[in-house]
Chains A and B, each alone.
Chain A
Amino acid sequence: MEKTWNNKAWFMVLPVLLLVAFSAVIPLMTVVNYSVQDTFGNNEFFWAGTEWFEEVLASERFHDALFRNLAFSLIILAIEVPLGIAIALAMPRSGFWVPVCLVLMALPLLIPWNVVGTIWQVFGRADIGLLGHTLAYLGIPYNYTQDPVAAWITVIVMDVWHWTSLVVLLCYAGLVSIPEAYYQAAKIDGASRWSVFRYIQLPKMHRVLLIAVLLRFMDSFMIYTEPFVVTGGGPGNSTTFLSIDLVKMAIGQFDLGPAAAMSIVYFLIVLALSWVFYTVMTNYGQDER
């Protein structure tokens, strides 16, 4: 659409700008402020320069949390994206069951995040949970409060349970928007099931997949509530992701300087990685012009 140049449009954007600026810029300035100062209490602050940044970037604790978080994000992307595509492909394209399926699938998306944690915390317990009890009955050792591997599996399965539906819904919307003529043409051209997926369905899902990957990456990289409720970041530090670590540092230990420096580094990492994902995925399969 041809857009006209009109700087008065700023007035329409102004409320949004003020509201978001109030919620984003002022807190961000506070964070920046803390990140370059030190305090001994009594509201006395000293210029600390880049000291906190150096400390955070050099700290093993931060490296470990970052590594755990990256590993977590990559694992859940590797599970949720292919699984979501497969389920979307297997869904019927019309009929009575479609809205029922969609509503049931969307259900986990609308459960408050700590309730998601509670559900899995209960579900996995050997004494009162269906999953924990069944595994114990089968003689499979499983205790997410003691065993780091079990804790990781629980957190990953919980995230798959919680968020795969988002990928399914996005892919499904992409699939139903493909006109029937494409499938008819593919039949006439003698295309195999794989070719239909590779040359028709995947290209048409490209855009929604981009959104799905970006959203899932961002949100998994910021995950806090669900693993906190289930494992509290443990056992040990084995499920302490960046957000959990940050909250421990800022509110638990009240180390404002390092916490603020870490916040900024953290935010910049999310932005940078999202940008990388975005560029890579938009360039993939573009015209060579």
Chain B
Amino acid sequence: MTSSPSAGTAPHGFPAADALAPSRPQANVRRDGATGLARLSFLIPTIYIIFLLLPIYWLGTMSLKTNQEILGAFTLWPTNPTLANYRVIFTDPSWYNGYINSIIYVALNTVISVSVALPAAYAFSRYRFLGDKHLFFWLLTNRMAPPAVFALPFFQLYSSFGLIDTHIAVAIAHCLFNVPLAVWILEGFMSGVPKEIDETAYIDGYSFPRFFVKIFMPLIASGIGVAAFFCFMFSWVELLIARTLTTTAAKPIAATMTRTVSASGMDWGVLAAAGILTIIPGALVIWFVRNYIAKGFALGRV
């Protein structure tokens, strides 16, 4: 019943409103809605962020100091900033290989987790099948398994397959907690897509794989982003299993850091530089996905 004109369809161009009456009363002064307390509320997050950044700042300054300065007189910032510690890491293959190893198995894990979780999440979000609820719950219980429980059996399992000290071993082991997580996150996003879209696509003659890749995946792109982010995160920060399954060739950077004890004592500067370098990939990833994370959290799925 309603006829609402829009620019394209209106038969007449309705002119803009007439001029305002010339005698306009004095402009109102806006009242300040915020109370004194509310105006100070920014202090809470600010103090919290300072609390978060102080230890990281300290690690950062240490990475720019020489060991003499670290152990010598106490200084709040480096008096003679030096990149020597970073040079050690970037020139010594046993150091920088740690980064490469970590990045390889984290990337492998993210790809594996998300790609097997996609069809499974679709099944859970669209169909009922024998044992579906039990299966979903069982998947989630794996997120509750203490890694310490699995460390030793994993070592034996992967030894018997000859996979110890390979990237794929760590990547598959991390699937234990990342796949359930990815299924859970993706299922939440997929349930938000109306089923009519699937049906319309089939009517239009799309095959299932083509529909899934061409239509469905773009619709849940942000969900895939969130799932990938969390897989990256939990694989990147985990050390117990990663260290257990590797010795040299696939050793993660975080494990390499225990090497800094030498005959002359701790090499604090290099340790700090290595620590700072492990923070950077995470920081970059957060920056790129910052707008999607809130969405993922909003679904209540982590």
Contact = CB atoms under 8 A, between A and B. Distances in A.
A4 B126 contact: yes
Interface in B255-302: 255, 257-258, 268, 271-272, 275, 278-279, 281-283, 285-287, 290-291, 293-295, 297-298, 300-302
A258 B295 CA distance: 44
Given A1-B195, A123-B58, A127-B71, A113 B129 contact: no
Interface of B, secondary structure class, is helix
Interface in A1-18: 1-10, 12-13, 15-17
Interface in B16-64: 41-45, 48-49, 51-56, 58-59, 62
A243 B148 contact: yes
B146 A118 contact: no
Contacts of B191: 1
Given A222-B148, A274-B144, A13 B120 contact: yes
Contacts of B236: 110, 112
Nearest to B116: A15
A189 to B, nearest CB: 17
A23 B175 contact: yes
Given A23-B172, A107-B283, A224 B148 contact: yes
A12 B282 contact: no
Contact of B287 (A27, A103, A127, A133): A103
Contacts of B41: 89-90
Nearest to A171: B297
B144 A31 contact: no
Contacts of B44: 86-87, 90
B297 A169 contact: yes
Given A115-B279, A271-B141, A103 B286 contact: yes
Contacts, number: 272
A104 interface: yes
B149 A99 contact: no
B120 A110 contact: no
Q: How large is the interface on B (under 10, 10 to 19, 20 to 34, 35 or more residues)?
A: 35 or more
Given A16-B139, A24-B176, A5 B286 contact: no
B16 to A, nearest CB: 30
A20 B142 contact: yes
Interface in A172-224: 172-174, 176-177, 207-208, 210-211, 215, 218, 221-222, 224
Interface stretch (B85-93, B150-158, B213-221): B150-158
A246 interface: yes
A120 interface: yes
A75 interface: no
A19 B171 CA distance: 11
A182 to B, nearest CB: 16
Given A110-B285, A259-B152, A20 B58 contact: no
Interface residues of A, number: 95
B237 A110 contact: yes
Interface string B61-74: 01000000011001
B149 A267 contact: yes
Interface string A144-156: 0000000000000
B183 interface: yes
B238 A247 contact: no
Contacts of A123: 54-55, 58-59
Q: What are the 9 closest A-B residue pairs judged by CB atoms, nearest first? A: A110-B282, A27-B153, A173-B297, A243-B148, A12-B119, A90-B44, A9-B127, A9-B123, A12-B123
7 contacts: A19-B175, A24-B176, A27-B150, A31-B149, A89-B41, A111-B282, A221-B146
Interface of B: 41-45, 48-49, 51-56, 58-59, 62, 70-71, 74, 76, 112, 116-117, 119-120, 122-130, 132, 135, 139, 141-154, 156-157, 172-173, 175-176, 179-180, 183, 191, 194-195, 233, 236-240, 252-255, 257-258, 268, 271-272, 275, 278-279, 281-283, 285-287, 290-291, 293-295, 297-298, 300-302
